Structures are given as C-alpha cells and as structure tokens.
Amino acid sequence: MAQAELLVVKIGGNVIDSPPLLALFLDSFAQLPGPKVLVHGGGKLATKLAGQLGVAVQMHQGRRLTDGPTLDIAVMVYGGLVNKNLVAGLQARQCQALGLAGADLDLVRAVRRPVRDGVDYGLVGDVRAVNTGALRALLDQGTVPVLAPLSHDGASQLLNTNADTIASEVAVAMSAHFPTSLLFCFEKNGVLASATDDDSVIARLDPASYAGYLADGTVSGGMVPKLDNAFAALRRGVRQVYIFHAQAMPQFGQPGFVGTQITGGHE
Amino acid sequence: MAQAELLVVKIGGNVIDSPPLLALFLDSFAQLPGPKVLVHGGGKLATKLAGQLGVAVQMHQGRRLTDGPTLDIAVMVYGGLVNKNLVAGLQARQCQALGLAGADLDLVRAVRRPVRDGVDYGLVGDVRAVNTGALRALLDQGTVPVLAPLSHDGASQLLNTNADTIASEVAVAMSAHFPTSLLFCFEKNGVLASATDDDSVIARLDPASYAGYLADGTVSGGMVPKLDNAFAALRRGVRQVYIFHAQAMPQFGQPGFVGTQITGGHE
C-alpha cells in the first residue's frame, strides 16, 4: 500500500476575515482526501480587539511583538474565536475537526525567544519540538487537527508563534511519518512579479530567483519570512511547498491551478 | 480487571479567578489516578471583558443570556483564554491535557434553546448528544480532556452551554462506558445550611431534604440549577455526585474530606 500523503494547509488572516472566501475554502478543504492539517492565523481580528481594549500592537518585520495583554488577546482570538469557529464550520461539512493550540497534547513545545539585535519579542516562542506521535495518532483516526498559532514552554506559559512557522515546523516534523506537502493559502494568487498585477504569478521560485527578487525589492515585507519558512521546509524534508490564493484550493493538483511552487531548497 | 472509575470534575469561575487556589487545585487534579475529565466555567473574566468592550451582560436565574457579541466573548474567554491556560498549567504538571469545546470532535452537540415563558436565551445550546466514543478513545490513550462550556449545533453555530450542564451531561453519557463520579468544585465548602457559616456544610443531601431547603430559602440562586443537575445526573446513571471546595480536592476519598454528597436521586 502506498503511504498516504499528508497535506499541511495554512490560511492567513485575510482569508478568515472574508466570510465568502472562507466558506469557499472550507468547502474544498473539507473534501480533500487523506490526512490533512489546517493551520490558521487571524491577524485583523486580534488587531481589532487590541484596539477596542486599548492594547497597543507593535510589529517588527511583519511579526507581532507580544506583551502579556497582547498574548491574552492572541489566545482569545486565535485559540478561541477563530479556532473554534473554523472547527464548527468544518464539522458542519462532515469533517471531524479538532482545534488545538500548542499546549494541547504538548503539541508544539517552544522556548521563549531570546533578545536578539536589541529586539525583545516578548512572549514569542521558537519551536523546539512537535509531538508527532500525538498528531499521527489523531490523523490515523481520521481526525483533522486545526492548529492555532500558539506554542507553550512546558512550564505553564503559552507563547505566540507565527502561523507560517507553526505550519512549516509541523510539516517538517511530520515528514518523518508521511510524504508531506505544505500549502500556504492567502489572499493573492501567489508570489507576484508585480505587486499591482494579480496575474503576474511567478509559477516556480527557486533560491537563485528568490535572491534576485529580494535584491530588487519584488519580494518584501511579510512575504520574506513566509518564503524563508518555505525554503527551510524544503531543505528539512518537506516534499513540496506551494503558495496560492485560498480560492484556488479546489484546483490544487488539477489542471488550471494557479499558484507559486517553491522549489530547489534541497541543495 | 476491575473497570476504572471515571472522574468528571467541574471547577467554577471563582476557582479560575484565584491563582493560588487554581494552582492548588491543578496540583491535586493532575495527580488523580485513572481516567478523568475537567470541565470549567470562567464567569468573571467574561464579565470583565464584556465590560471593557461595552457589551451588556444579561442574566436570568444565574444563567447568562447570549447574543452574538456575548457568544464571541464566551468563545474567546472560555474556549480560548481559560481553556488553553488550564491546559498549559496541566501540561506543566505532566498531565497530558487536551482542551476542547463542543465543536471539537463533535463532542457536545446541542440545539438552540427555544423561547420559553417569554425568555429568549439567545445563542444557548441544550445538549442533545455527547460523542462518548471520541471521549472514550481519548481517555483510553491517557489523554485528559479539558472541556469549555460551549456546544455546537452541527451547522457551524457555536452555542453557550452552562458548565454545570456540560459536566452533568458528559458524566451521564460516559456512565455507559465507566462507573462515573461527578465532582463540582467551587469556592465554598459544600452546600451550606447557613450561607454565612462556612462550617455549616450539609454532608448529605437527598431529594426530600433538598425540597425542604428550597422551600425555606436555604438553597437559592445559582445553587439551584447546580443541584437540579446533580440529582438529574444520579437519576440518569451517574454513580456519585459531590459538591465541595476546590481546596478539598487533595482530600477527596480520604479521611478528613469535607463536602456535600448528593444522594438518593435514583427513586
């Protein structure tokens, strides 16, 4: 029997913020055959709640700096509101979803990020271990894990961890159990050669072309850590990585699919 | 081999609001041998957040009326902040905890409560089914489910359900799989004969004495649905029900234990 392929699919905050896009995505995600994991962000809802509560949001290179009140907001929005509504939406689509944060089943163990280059990220976790045994047991039972971007330190402290990083680390760790594909779904058609042209999708991106796009500014901002994660995932054993619009989920692996494949991280 | 006894333990919002009491409780809960489930409320934190967000909280006979914004707060606080911090605290105590809301694994399926006696409770769920197979599978693996007081309707809608009710319904449903004990831990020493005397614990309460205490006002307010749940649970197959202070958890089943045993619901 050929071993099943595992899909680790990450959706960004913009997908969650758009109910019609989210519904379309969930329809197709629920129908994907075989083992699968959903990882989600949820940026704008957290920012909105922080504003309502008078908690200042600080960003550094596309990543959120996390003090105590900001962590509580992340736990409430990512671990609660977004996660449980995604699970309820998947259950309504006959998908046996289970929402998880990093502390659940000791799934994503992290250490608090040390101060680097004068930047204290606060309560942010750098992933140290993924409980692949627990994830595998869930997948073998047909359960679909839905992961919030939260880790923990094993000593009662929850930590904020970038959702792309969670997706990447889970895909890398699970590559020991399954041939694993990592799919980043967001609100653009892929990595664009021209930021203002949605049709300028770069079909394949390798380390050399990435270096060029970085140098000329084609790729910048939040796309940088996403692509760094993608290449690192390929180097660490993930079979394939794609970046595409959440609305293209139904076409993934089919003719007519539009998106960017990240390749050649293995050298 | 004698079948293991299942403990379903519910902690109230006042326990969660007191860090030292909560730590003491988690220490003893983590050490309980055998299969166990933790069910939690989280009242004051939700009320506080509602106040900060300008969402009015409406109560009716000790139960929260739930509109859309109030449900979101419940999902954030109960399903997120409280649930995930409890899980992180248990993981730090080497307890393989898994936080769950009713939508996770289709664990607690409910129907939205119909308007009765002119009262529309809003997005409140009356429990219709507990997924005992999924819970049993988790317990058989040594996992400790931590349940937030949330249900779902199977059609994407999360619903608010009283934590005592979740605990009671789960204990009743699991009685088909395990001899099950239901323990309500809160901030008083038990059911008190005199509200102002913490030492006036009624050691055993049966339907006849309960009727008397109801008639003379000894038992009132939020204790009424708690005790109604308790007697109903006994009638529906739960082996034993106790109500006691969270700080008495280490003494449960030991000499010196102080609390109220609810008895005689079986006639």
Between chains, do B87 and A81 touch, taking CB under 8 Å as contact? no
Q: Which strand (E) or helix (H) includes residue A185?
A: strand A180-186
Evaluate if residue B192 carries a pLDDT over 90.
Answer: yes
Evaluate if residue A99 carries a pLDDT over 60.
Answer: yes
Give the angle subtended at the CA of B16 by the CAs of B13 and B19, to the nearest 5°.
Answer: 150
Half-sphere exposure of residue A139, counting CA atoms within 13 Å on the CB side? 23
User: What's the residue count for chain B?
Assistant: 267
Between chains, do B83 and A78 touch, taking CB under 8 Å as contact? no
- Token readout for B164 is 């005592």
Output the pLDDT for position B3.
73
Between chains, do B96 and A84 touch, taking CB under 8 Å as contact? no
Structure ipTM: 0.94
- DSSP per position, B81-133: IIHHHHHHHHHTTT--EEEE-TTGGG-EEEEEPPPBTTB--BSBEEEEEE-HH
More confident residue, A113 or A13: A113
Between chains, do A79 and B77 touch, taking CB under 8 Å as contact? no
Q: What is the C-alpha separation between A202 and A193, in angstroms, rounded?
A: 6
More confident residue, B57 or A181: A181
- How are the residues of chain B apportioned to helix, strand and coil, as percentages rounded to the nearest 5? 40, 25, 35
Give how far Cα B72 sits from Cα of A26, A87, B246, Å: 20, 15, 28
* pLDDT tens, residue by residue, B4-36: 899 999 999 889 999 999 999 999 999 999 999
- How are the residues of chain A apportioned to helix, strand and coil, as percentages rounded to the nearest 5? 40, 25, 35
* pLDDT tens, residue by residue, B78-128: 999 999 999 999 999 999 999 999 999 999 999 999 988 888 889 999 999
Confidence label for A64 from pLDDT (cuts 50, 70 and 90): low
Evaluate if residue B59 carries a pLDDT over 80.
Answer: no
Of B79, B106, B141, the CB nearest to A137: B141
Give how far Cα A51 sits from Cα of A48, A70, A111, A159, B245, Å: 5, 11, 28, 21, 38
CA distance A258 to chain B (A): 29
Residues of A in contact with B46 (CB under 8 A): none
Instruction: Read off the pLDDT of each residue in A206-216 and give the average, rounded to a whole number.
Output: 95
A107 in contact with B at a CB cutoff of 8 Å? no
Instruction: Read off the pLDDT of each residue in A160-168 and give the average, rounded to a whole number.
Output: 94
Instruction: Read off the pLDDT of each residue in B41-66 and give the average, rounded to a whole number.
Output: 82
Output the pLDDT for position A265.
58
CA dihedral A135, B83, A226, A254 (to 10 degrees): 50
- Helices and strands counted in chain A (H then E): 9, 14
Mean pLDDT, chain B, as a whole number?
A: 93
B97 in contact with A at a CB cutoff of 8 Å? yes
Evaluate if residue B267 carries a pLDDT over 50.
Answer: no
Between chains, do B158 and A53 touch, taking CB under 8 Å as contact? no
Residues of B in contact with A158 (CB under 8 A): 84-85, 88
Between chains, do B88 and A157 touch, taking CB under 8 Å as contact? yes
Evaluate if residue A211 carries a pLDDT over 80.
Answer: yes
Q: What is the C-alpha separation between A90 and A97, in angstroms, rounded?
A: 6
B131 in contact with A at a CB cutoff of 8 Å? no
Give the angle subtended at the CA of A61 by the CAs of A58 and A62, to the nearest 5°.
Answer: 70
- Best probe of the A interface among B25, B76, B78, B83, by most A CBs < 10 A, is B76
B58 in contact with A at a CB cutoff of 8 Å? no
- Token readout for A88 is 């309820």
- Best probe of the B interface among A156, A157, A160, by most B CBs < 10 A, is A156
Is residue B60 within 8 Å of residue B117, measured between CB atoms?
no
Between chains, do B76 and A78 touch, taking CB under 8 Å as contact? no
Q: What percent of chain A has pLDDT over 90?
A: 79
* pLDDT tens, residue by residue, B125-140: 999 999 999 999 999 9
- Token readout for A124 is 């942010």
Between chains, do A72 and B81 touch, taking CB under 8 Å as contact? yes
Evaluate if residue B161 carries a pLDDT over 80.
Answer: yes
Sort residue B6 into left (φ over 0), alpha (ψ -120 to 50) or beta.
beta
More confident residue, B254 or A64: B254
Half-sphere exposure of residue B159, counting CA atoms within 13 Å on the CB side? 28
Residues of B in contact with A52 (CB under 8 A): 52-53
Confidence label for B64 from pLDDT (cuts 50, 70 and 90): low
Between chains, do B158 and A84 touch, taking CB under 8 Å as contact? yes
- Best probe of the A interface among B25, B82, B85, by most A CBs < 10 A, is B85
Give the angle subtended at the CA of B180 by the CAs of B174 and B186, to the nearest 5°.
Answer: 105
